[in-house]
Structure 1
């Protein structure tokens, strides 16, 4: 007689294994969020600027540098972008839209600032810090990180340097920009917006539904920053037209700020302290140069358009589209203005960097660095 084989559990189909993270990853996702909430709560209790966001970022980054495999589940990040975008769109009013007439001036000054900023940073990284030109070029790009990383890989740049420089820039800007705005005389209304919450359940569901729909359509269209920008545009249209009034409850915003901070801080996972010592000063100096250029052009743009300097500066600093738009929202600065400027720069970089990289560098199978480097890549 044949012996009956012990039945084995049927493995999950391939598409489900992609949707369901491993138990170990789920535990670390939960630990990351718990740590981020603790850090954000501490900073908020200490009345730090943008406390929920900056606190989550700082403690998560420290955990990542100590070797903890911190991270944020991708679909959680996507949902948070939609919630934040919906909330930011709710701050748009008919009065806000009347200020759009001044935007072309500041847009033109922003476009002029990008090549000046990149040339200045490339010169420093290549001539002073001793980086190769490929790595310096991609590290100098003020945004469009996904496009930059793909092209850096294909062009033979040291992608780890590029990721480190870009991540450090975003980290420093999110952590220190609220303090810098205070030094320029800008006083945010508080850690959270003060416009009224949606008055009833139907308004809440309608506002959230509009945001989800806008984010979904923008994601399907592969729009830059689609989940957040799409939901913000959709929410902004209905709020700007006066069809819906009020923002989402505070708890949604707090969760969004904490998850965003945790995601930014987790970019430092896998980065060794030796790597930090090697590249920290170079990347910090490059950030100082880029910020100085942004500040100079922000002075010009604010003067020409008769806009407040803090508002223009947040729109010009070399940060990521989503993070800087949310930072504007936290600081009580018009997020539509900031998002429009960062989106313009993002689209220009995403279109031109592949062409410029192929023209000047072509394709290369290995990094062009001649020095031995640590191959551990920071997580994007």
Structure 2
């Protein structure tokens, strides 16, 4: 029998503890973390700092929480910002992306298989739980699907949350230590000439995109919809504006706190084996991503940095933001992560039936 997993709020729109005080405390802690990491000149400082500080707070037993609806609102801002990174030049890259996406399909299958057997070896989780915990993407979707098929929802959520946390902490720090990257969202060039028309277009992209993404049931709808609308607006030349850096920093703090709040109620001394196994699986996926990125770089000549970020097993929002902060091709990173989300979500229910019925 596996150990009991942390009990969190049963309300779907709450991550961690419910209430205004836990939310305010989380944001205050996350903001302090953002200031500290920005002072240290870390890339993606505001999200990374908020993520680290709120995770420490969660493991320390502080009553912090995040409202998922607030997070969704901030993710809309991120989607509009990411869409502004699309340019007509990306059309010339589509041919190379076909090869890269094909390699990603093989990488996703390989990484998921290795993670599945890793979880089977180092945890007491059942097959269903191990399978959906092993997928390199789709935290919410895999948790819901796994639970519907009889898996342990909290175990799956724990594995995916630790996967994202490990990737978010590893890749930016690696670039900071090895490459000396110091990009912060507040030092990135943002147009300062936004007039009422620019603001109207940006707001429309966010609101209409969120509705379209929701109605069409897109993966990561509140980011993908606004990103597509913003990309269309920028590719069509309607605007070249972006959300201001201060607003983007605030959005990063909320997104980072949302990651940390997922660990509320997690006891290190009770779940050390499951936590260790989840971090180990994340490291396996990162290694797999780097290896396949090297292969793609050799085949296509695509930027190794952009390819690593495109293949890295982090969340769609988090990896796209890291790409933006590091100055790599955000359109490529976002497109690859969306492709992987579609691939995982569309194939998991069918593949799982084959995998989970073997040996019965």
Q: TM-score range by the shorter chain?
A: 0.7 to 0.9
Instruction: State yes or no: 1:94 paired with 2:88.
Output: yes
Q: Which residue of 2 aligns with 1:32?
A: 26
Alpha-carbon distance in structure 2 between the residues aligned to 1:218 and 1:244:
21
Question: Quick one: which of 257, 265, 268 aligns to 1:270?
Answer: 265
Instruction: State yes or no: 1:329 paired with 2:327.
Output: no
How many residues matched?
Answer: 344
Gaps of 5+ in 2: 1-10
Question: Quick one: which of 301, 304, 307 aligns to 1:306?
Answer: 301
Cα RMSD after superposing both structures: 2.5
Alpha-carbon distance in structure 1 between the residues aligned to 2:351 and 2:264:
31
TM-score scaled by structure 1?
Answer: 0.83
Contact 2:42 2:182 in 1 (8 A): no
Question: Quick one: which of 158, 161, 164 aligns to 1:167?
Answer: 161
Cα deviation for residue 152 of structure 1 reads 2.2
Q: Which residue of 1 aligns with 2:253?
A: 258
Contact 1:181 1:310 in 2 (8 A): no
Cα deviation for residue 184 of structure 1 reads 6.2
Contact 1:188 1:332 in 2 (8 A): no
Q: Which residue of 1 aligns with 2:112?
A: 118
Q: Which residue of 2 aligns with 1:296?
A: 291
Q: Which residue of 1 aligns with 2:148?
A: 154
Cα deviation for residue 173 of structure 1 reads 1.0
1:156 aligns to what SS in structure 2? Answer: coil
Contact 1:155 1:357 in 2 (8 A): no
Contact 1:88 1:329 in 2 (8 A): yes
Cα deviation for residue 337 of structure 1 reads 1.0
Cα deviation for residue 53 of structure 1 reads 0.8
Instruction: State yes or no: 1:75 paired with 2:69.
Output: yes
Instruction: State yes or no: 1:234 paired with 2:246.
Output: no
Alpha-carbon distance in structure 2 between the residues aligned to 1:186 and 1:131:
40
Q: Which residue of 1 aligns with 2:213?
A: 218
Give the 3 Å change call, closer, same or farther, for CA 113–198 of structure 1 in structure 2: farther
Greater C-alpha radius of gyration: 1
2:167 aligns to what SS in structure 1? Answer: helix
Q: Which residue of 2 aligns with 1:320?
A: 315
Q: Which residue of 1 aligns with 2:78?
A: 84
Give the 3 Å change call, closer, same or farther, for CA 160–189 of structure 1 in structure 2: closer
TM-score scaled by structure 2?
Answer: 0.88
Give the 3 Å change call, closer, same or farther, for CA 104–145 of structure 1 in structure 2: same
Contact 1:302 1:312 in 2 (8 A): yes
Give the 3 Å change call, closer, same or farther, for CA 293–210 of structure 1 in structure 2: same
1:268 aligns to what SS in structure 2? Answer: coil
Give the 3 Å change call, closer, same or farther, for CA 83–360 of structure 1 in structure 2: same
Give the 3 Å change call, closer, same or farther, for CA 59–185 of structure 1 in structure 2: closer
